[in-house]
Amino acid sequence: MTCAVADALALEQKLKAQAYGLGFDLVGIAALGPMETSAAFDAWLEKGYAGDMAYLERGAEKRRDSRLPFPDARSAIVVGLDYGGREPSGPVARYARGDDYHEVMTSKLTELHRWLELETGHPIAGKPYVDTGPILERDLARRAGLGWFGKNTNLVNPRLGSFFFIGSLLVDLDLEPDVPFEIDRCGSCTRCLDACPTDAFVEPRVLDATRCISYLTIELKGEIPEHLHEGVGSSIYGCDICQEVCPYNVKFARELKEPAFRIREALRGKDAIALAQDIIEMEEAEFREAFRKSPMKRAKLSGLRRNSVVVLANASGAS
């Protein structure tokens, strides 16, 4: 092994140690280039499965090749941050109970970028992506060895399950990539598909978002179709059902350790009925204060009220 190769390997090892030190639970390195699922993603959009999420159609050319969103990039550092799959079920999906993960992860990735520049002794062009920009981050994560695509479309890690966020730091630096995760470990299991109360899965790994509870309670602009009310059940924001039943989560999901994701006061100790009643009675100013820095702001107070009406109707048997 040459000195240059030894130095490069040492940098990757130190980089991963630093990422773990910042609180990330997974880290891998991916080579950039054409993305494996871009054609399937284009076909998914064409079939209308994205519903109102027209923003997913932007930057199609860049989405198909991960070298294009940030032109100077040569490598992707891909990370996973667990959000506590052992937390109890509730009317709000686990990922949304604390602070906005976009901000939490972007801050950590920015800190990792600064460390990389200090470690190498020179400026490095780089940009963090956390559900932003035309990046197929699941593709990068699989390419970085972090897991495989489960039948519920989530990335599944064999030691962690799927209750984690994915983020990427694209950098103008040649790094030794990790071995991609090539094995499908779902086997014949269909628990996630069978458990969906709105039958949102067209087939394994194909989700019709317009029937998904997460889409209906977060992204949908209009009223929730009446024939899907019963399936929404007690969900006010998001849904974890297809993850909860996954054997990898049943066995490997972890306790919540990231302080930023701890449940906020406005949600603590409230079942679906109590929370729905609170939301319906909230004023805008109260909502902004109670959900400051929360991802739940995405649905706006009007969307959460709409969801709450459905939940209360389901509870009373009137839906």
Residue type at 178 in one-letter notation = D
Say how far apart CA 200 and CA 56 lie, in whole Å. Answer: 19
Here the tokens at position 84 are: 């506590």
Q: Which of 52, 131, 194, 199 is catalytic?
A: 131
End-to-end CA distance of the chain: 68
- Joined together, the tokens standing for residue 210 give 């317009």
Beta bridge partners of residue 82, listed in sequence order: 164
At 285, is the secondary structure helix, strand, or coil?
helix
- The one-character DSSP state at 177 is P
Residue type, 180: P
- The whole-angstrom separation of Cα 185 and Cα 196 is 20
Q: Where are the beta strands (DSSP E) in the chain?
A: 26-31, 75-82, 126-129, 148-149, 155-156, 164-171, 201-203, 206-207
- What phi and psi, each to the nearest 5 degrees, are found at residue 251? -90, -40
| Residue 167 CB-density burial (10 A; 0-12 exposed, 13-18 middle, 19+ buried) | buried
How many CB atoms lie under 10 A from the CB of residue 64? 17
DSSP bridge pairs for 129: 168
Query: Residue 121 and residue 104: Cα distance in Å, rounded?
Result: 26
Q: Is 99 a catalytic residue?
A: no
Catalytic residues: 131
